[in-house]
Amino acid sequence: MMAFLVSTMTIYSIYYYTQKKKMDFSVVANAKDLPHTVVSEIDKNSTDKNMLWTKGINQVLPFQIDTDNVLTNVPDEHFVSYNLPYNKANLENFYEGLVTKFPNHPPIEFNELKDNEKLLLSYFFYNIRLPNGFRVSASSVDFHGTQVKSLQYRPQGRSDSSLTTFYKNDTTHEYAFKIIINGGKEELVMYSAANESFWKDTYKNATSFISGLSHKYKPAKDESVLVPEIDFSIVKDYSFDERKNLPELHDYSLAEERIKLKISAPATGGPMEVNHKYDTPKNYALNGNLLVYIKEVKSAEPYCIINVKHPEILKVEHHK
């Protein structure tokens, strides 16, 4: 059984992390191969980099790391972890939980681990499907000098707009939307601003921007909103030196943090691409410095924050 499992893990690991065309050009990478992206909280000296941060790895450590309570714990339905000695029985239990929560997920390969060595794995996975007002756009978005694939929103009906609230300030070049997701239990916020700032300041600006009525905005029938398409899977491997410098990870032979997030539209193309009633349809795009966060409606703080300042984790437009 173990020999078969190892063989399967190897096959799927190769498929999952190297066959990028099979993954529809999604970003599938190790964090060490993304020089402009940091997985975990970023410092003020790296304000030009992307940040992907969930509270996942904190949840599985023997004691909590003090991160000034910026993030709340990841809901169990989006999170699976392994924090046990590495052996056949524990690994099988972990995979049972993994495929129960995330069907069809390929097995994960662990190299050079021996039985009873301590393994820590934090895995966050979320596939968000936007309301029917969104489509996969035929137009790309220029994001910091790179054409990336985009999603497009145009008002379609009351049932679509009831879940989505837009915010706009052309003077300060701030744009945002908030969408109620997961059956009303959570909300997704995407906020775009032109100014460069530390991510904590950007997060405060975003929450302030969407908290009042002054910036609420209802797109007219001739307007649409373009949003960079987000779809990536990234593995953060904590090296021996990193574990050595983090006391809470001293006992682990391997520590990994994995994040997979996909924000998708329910349909491709469609009638939104062309509006024959207007000579010049008006559009605005969330293509500045982009902050994305997900929170439970009942919670004051998010459990996932993504700060995008470089296109390397976005879906690049590939021209045929």
Tokens 């690994």, located at residue: 91
Kindly report, residue by residue over 58-90, the tens digit of the pLDDT.
888 877 665 556 899 999 999 999 999 999 899
pLDDT of residue 98: 86
Phi then psi for 79, rounded to 5 degrees? Answer: -145, 135
Residue 308 sits in the same domain as residue 208: yes
Number of structural domains the chain divides into: 2
The residues of the chain scoring below 70 in pLDDT are: 1-25, 64-69, 156-161, 268-282, 318-320
Residues 268 and 258 in one domain: no
Contact between residue 121 and residue 23 where contact means Cβ atoms under 8 Å apart: no
| Separation of alpha carbons 257 and 266, rounded Å | 29
Predicted pLDDT of residue 215: 94
| 82 and 146 part of one domain | no
Q: Do the strands 282-285 and 150-153 form a parallel or antiparallel pair, or are they unpaired? A: unpaired
In a domain, 78, yes or no: yes
Q: What is the pLDDT, as a whole number, of residue 160?
A: 59
Instruction: Report whether 55 contacts 303 (CB < 8 A).
Output: yes
CA distance 35 to 12: 25
Do 99 and 136 fall within a single domain? no
Q: Among residues 226, 221, 258, which one has the least CA distance to residue 80?
A: 258
Whether 120 and 223 map to the same domain: the answer is: no
CATH number of the domain encompassing residue 291: 2.30.39.10
319 lies in a domain?
no
Q: What pLDDT is attached to residue 22?
A: 39
Does the residue 67 lie in any domain?
no
**251 contact partners, CB below 8 Å, separation of at least 6:** 118
Residues 79 and 225 in one domain: no
How far is 236 from 238, CA to CA, in rounded Å? 6
Query: How many C-beta atoms surround the C-beta of residue 20 within 10 A?
Result: 12
Same domain, 300 and 272: yes
C-alpha dist (Å) from residue 3 to 6, 37, 89, 91, 253: 5, 36, 14, 13, 22
The answer to whether residues 87 and 145 belong to one domain is: no
Is the same domain home to 79 and 96?
yes
Beta strands in 130-173 (DSSP E): 134-136, 141-143, 146-148, 150-153, 164-169
pLDDT number for residue 159: 56
Residue-range definition of the domain harbouring residue 219: 129-229+264-313
Do 145 and 113 lie in one domain? The reply is no
Look up the pTM and report it: 0.85
